[in-house]
Amino acid sequence: MEPKLPLISNPPNAPLKAFSSKLSTHCTQKIHNGSHRSHFFTNASFSNAENVTKGLIYAFTFFHSPEHSITKMHLLLPPLFFFFFFPLVAYSSHCTTQTATKSFQKCMTLPTQQASIAWTFHPRNSTLDLVFFGTFISPSGWVGWGMNPTSPEMTGTRALIAFPDPNSGQIVLLPYILDPTVKLQKSPLLSRPLDIHLLSSSAAMYGGKLATVHNGATIQIFSTLKLKPNKTKIHLVWNRGLYVQGYSPTIHPTTSTDLSSITTFDVLSGSSAVQHSNNVKALRVIHGTINAISWGLLLPVGAVTARYLRHIQSLGPTWFYVHAGIQLFAFTLGTLGFAIGICLGRLSPGVEYSLHRKLGFAVFCLGAMQTVALLFRPKTTNKFRKYWKSYHHFVGYSCVVLGFVNVFQGFQVMGLSRSYSKLVYCLGLSTLIGVCIALEVNSWVVFCRKSKEEKLRREGLIGTSEKSSGIHN
């Protein structure tokens, strides 16, 4: 006879029922409170959620049943997780064409903020039925989407923005036109009728009227629009904010992700500018990497070589060629990064980082001035040499300092304030600063030693002259 494996004891029925009830409630809440990308808006999805919950309860009961051994439990565990949780993974990675009240023909996952859209386009009358799926980031926040009739940017967008009513707490959906004054924050954003053919619009929280707005809560914004004949490409803009003052939504976060919530797609074919977005992201990484290396590391290294190597007499003029070579290479590399930044600005209309842009132009101009000044470097015997030297030091150190500042500003713009990329750069910069401190201390030690020797030498020379004059007398 085969030895029997120890069995799991059967717990009391009351705790089992209580646990099963809690497990069912917990799983259902977790599933229902998931983001809209989980797509539990259809009846089929609801039944799938219920199957998952029932499966968990059945698995728990099965594992605690006295007639099943540990061996069977191990055999059953992988299939249970596969069959019950694989549908969740599959659903969460795609957009949905189904809502609780309506079905659509096509859908698309938007590149930022876990947002998506679904739509049906009627070519006969150029009517577009569209639903936008978004999530709140604050209980008192707002979620909105809109269309820009002319270009893919925020300014000029005709938007529909949903938020909790300050008085009743119910969801309200109001139209807004985002003119240039909104971007400059000169005046609060006030609701006004749109000048596009908006036939109908509504907003609904998942869960109906009993649903409450919280961080991560999903909202659906429905709209029906009349497009211009033979115009199927639209510029879609979406975003979300933290607060609403009265009925005026406040400015949204300004991270690179939030500022990139723009896309252009064709309602007829369903194609979007995803490749363009990927190209912009790749250029952004290349731009940041090149500029961090050139302006943020190589340029300071060149300044360090000029300051500390020129005093080593055995090197002769070698220090100058090393210094000039590093700086010219850093400026050439930085020029490439600067040019990519200009291209990024053209490829991202409506996305502008004012401070980062101004600092970039300032650093590039200072670097260009340093490079041009090399052509007018006077000889050591020229009386204007000291003025050129003062200019060279002032412009050079200003370029280095502003380069540091703009590199950190770039990390903030790209949303990498707490990233490994910034950590690696900070480690490299810290190493360079440590080397500078060590070389500076060594330079002062050598300087003090030479000064002391020079002083003793002078005193010795004075003493010798006095003795020789006394003997002569």
pLDDT tens-digit profile of 77-121? Answer: 344 333 333 333 333 346 888 888 889 998 988 888 889 999 999
- Higher pLDDT, residue 239 or 169: 239
Residue 347: which residues within 8 A CB-CB, separation 6 or more? Answer: 276, 279, 280, 283
Whether pLDDT at 18 is above 60: no
**Which residues are registered as beta bridge partners of 157?**
178
Whether pLDDT at 173 is above 70: yes
Whether pLDDT at 9 is above 90: no
Rounded percentage of the chain residues whose pLDDT exceeds 70: 72
What pTM, to 2 d.p., does this model score?
A: 0.50
**Which residues are registered as beta bridge partners of 178?**
157
Please give the span between the terminal C-alpha atoms of the chain, in angstroms, as a whole number: 129
- Higher pLDDT, residue 61 or 187: 187
H-type alpha helices, 318-419? 318-347, 354-373, 385-413
Please state, in angstroms and rounded to a whole number, the distance separating the CA atoms of residues 445 and 439: 10
Rounded percentage of the chain residues whose pLDDT exceeds 90: 26
pLDDT in tens, 289-307: 999 999 999 999 999 998 8
Question: Tell me, what's the pLDDT at 184?
Answer: 64
Whether pLDDT at 281 is above 60: yes
HSE toward the beta carbon, residue 312, CA cutoff 13 A: 12
Polymer length in residues for the chain: 473
Place of tokens 């007018």: 376
Please state, in angstroms and rounded to a whole number, the distance separating the CA atoms of residues 288 and 417: 13
Mean pLDDT, the chain, integer: 76
E-only strand ranges, 142-195: 142-148, 157-164, 171-178
What are the structure tokens assigned to 45, written together?
Answer: 């999805």
Contacts 24+ apart (CB under 8 A), 121-125: 121/232, 121/267, 121/268, 123/268, 125/226
Question: For residue 103, what is the DSSP state?
Answer: B
Three-class SS of residue 161?
Answer: strand
Identify the weakest region by mean pLDDT among 139-153, 172-186, 393-407.
172-186
pLDDT in tens, 407-427: 999 988 887 878 888 899 999
Please state, in angstroms and rounded to a whole number, the distance separating the CA atoms of residues 352 and 334: 20
